[in-house]
Amino acid sequence: MNFSRRDFLKTTSVACGAAALCGWDWQTEAAQAEAVDKHALADVALRYAKKLGAGYADIRINRYRSEAIFTREQRVQDVTREQDFGFGVRVLLKGAWGFAASPRVTAEAVRRVTEQAIEIARANSAYQRKPVKLVSTPAVKAQWKSAYEKDPFEVPADKKIAFLLGLNEAAMSAKGASFVNSFLFFNNEQKFYASTDGSRIEQYIIRTAPFFTVTAVNRSAGDFQTRSSLAGPQSIGYEYLENYPWLKDAKQAGEEAVAKLQAKPVVPGKFDLLLHPSHLWLTIHESVGHSTELDRALLWEADYAGTSFLTPDKTGKLEFGSKICNFYGDRTQQHGLATVAYDDEGVPGQRWPLVKDGLFVGWQTTRDLAPLIGQKKSNGCLHADSWRSIPFPRMPNVSLEPARGNVSLEDLMGGIDNGILIFGNGSWSIDQQRYNFQFGGQTFWEIKNGKRGEMLRDVAYQSRTTDFWHACDGLGGRATYELNGAANDGKGEPGQANAVSHGCPVTRFRQINVLNTAAKKA
């Protein structure tokens, strides 16, 4: 049975009420989590770990909530809510790590799990080639909340559904749009951390991820084209849905999906590229973000997507890109998905250079990675996606600095005789060392003699990481800077998901190889 938007709005409050009766009570679950004396349980774990011989120990007692709503046209397809609560204990014994976890958050369970972590560390120490060493970090007692105005978990489900159906209606108002899918995802991390170093830290993090895809179909030609939302997830509250022009983007997406059916196929060759932040963030993520993870360079991580072409001996020597390229690792950027006050071993969030004036200068490090390259402090890159997951090195927000002057998209376009303007991220591929790559996008526009021209289709570009960033010769100013990212970046074995953002301005590249992705192979 199909509901119109009007019908749904009439009945949704009743439906949501019934759903609440069938599911759990959010407030009851929250009260149960709050009733746990985290500090007392931390005392049990840390004292017992020290008694059993650990040189270092920490405990994380975390509660996670998520909500997802999926729609298509004027139909609600699914509404899901999940909640997870538990703890994990990590110990360092005889230079080796041990970790264990449990969803039973009691003093008895804490003692049992701490003992298991000790036993695992003792077993690991028999095979540990070199003892783990940690750089120091100050003891901290703090509470912190991410930047948001409206907690989405306090907003009724019917209001969220109405938002999605409104998006769908705007997208389908484009003549020729065939169908639209949309969803909302909200995530809340309530994290407690305590260590034998003396830290006690509580953090409350909210992330919001709206998304839609419009599809236009030409059945007679057997062709279809899509255009997805250009704005990405952010660490922000429900106000993100109210302050960003989502309806405008949805309507434009419908029109552009239809226009792509008749767009001119790109002719392969060398082109200057003008890349919008809604596209370039993913290229930064794959070529800069992953390549500067020190654990990949040291071959600690290879199972999930490979290692890195960078190695420690290249620090301060390799010309990574042109002199206008300045990349920073950043745990402090407002609304960044990887923004925190402290990482999962109590290191403060910070900002530091990875590439400075084109020169590769820095790594993403943790307390046990930093000593391996002679650093005396961690950059705060330890993270676990659950209380049940062992923390390990994860990417911070990695961003490209804009130009200092007031440089616009039009200014950069004016310097292009024959080029392509690209919006949005599409298909992508990169090798196991983050070096050779290919990226597509959402929409493509011809640039002729400094002016934006016809729409193109079937565009992808190829390059190598250092060649690509050396070809960068123009950056937009602060007004062109945008933040985008991914809520589910995968890494590790078994895999974990990390939320991470990448900011950048509109950016120009010279003479990049462009392919026609629909061209038939000989």
- Per-residue pLDDT tens digits for 387-411: 999 999 999 999 999 999 999 999 9
Amino acid at site 344: D
Q: Where are the alpha helices (DSSP H) in 414-492?
A: 465-470
How many whole angstroms separate alpha carbon 264 and alpha carbon 261? Answer: 9
Q: Residue 504: its pLDDT value, please?
A: 98
Q: What is the DSSP letter of 119?
A: H
Handedness of CA 403, 406, 408, 410 (dihedral sign): negative
Residue in 152, 138, 117, 310 with CA at minimum distance from that of residue 234: 152
State the DSSP H helix or E strand holding residue 449, giving kind and residue range, or none if neither: none
Residue 421 near residue 319, CB atoms below 8 Å: no
Q: Residue 11: its pLDDT value, please?
A: 36
For 213-268, how does the pLDDT look when each residue is reduced to its tens digit (9 = 90+)?
A: 999 999 999 999 999 999 999 999 999 999 999 999 999 999 999 999 999 999 99
* pTM, to two decimals: 0.93
Residue 329 near residue 399, CB atoms below 8 Å: no
**DSSP string over 355-383:** EETTEE---B--TTTGGGGT-SS----EE
Q: Residue 13: its pLDDT value, please?
A: 36
Q: Residue 8: its pLDDT value, please?
A: 36
Counting every residue written for the chain, the total comes to 522
The residues, ordered by sequence, that sit 6+ positions from 252 with a Cβ below 8 Å of its Cβ are: none
Residue 224's SS3 state is: strand
Go through the domains of the chain in sequence order and give each one's CATH number: 5-261 (3.30.2290.10), 264-516 (no CATH)
Residue 224 near residue 198, CB atoms below 8 Å: no
Q: Residue 305: its pLDDT value, please?
A: 85
Is residue 233 reached through a cis peptide bond, with omega within 30 degrees of 0 on the bond before it?
no
Q: Residue 24: its pLDDT value, please?
A: 43
Residue 284's SS3 state is: helix
Q: Residue 7: its pLDDT value, please?
A: 39
Q: Residue 28: its pLDDT value, please?
A: 60
Give the CA diameter of the chain: 75
The residues, ordered by sequence, that sit 6+ positions from 31 with a Cβ below 8 Å of its Cβ are: none
166: how many CB neighbours lie within 10 A of its CB? 16
Give the relative orientation of helices 107-125 and 38-51 as an angle to the nearest 10 degrees: 40
Residue 234's SS3 state is: strand
Distances (CA, A) of 256 to 120, 214, 314: 56, 9, 44
Mean per-residue pLDDT pooled into runs of 10, the chain (522 residues): 37 36 50 83 98 98 98 97 97 98 98 98 94 97 97 97 98 97 98 98 98 96 96 97 97 98 97 98 98 96 92 97 98 97 98 98 98 97 98 98 96 98 96 97 98 97 98 98 95 94 98 91 48
Tokens of 187: 């995530």
For 138-184, how does the pLDDT look when each residue is reduced to its tens digit (9 = 90+)?
A: 999 999 999 999 999 999 999 999 999 999 999 999 999 999 999 99
Q: What is the DSSP letter of 348?
A: B
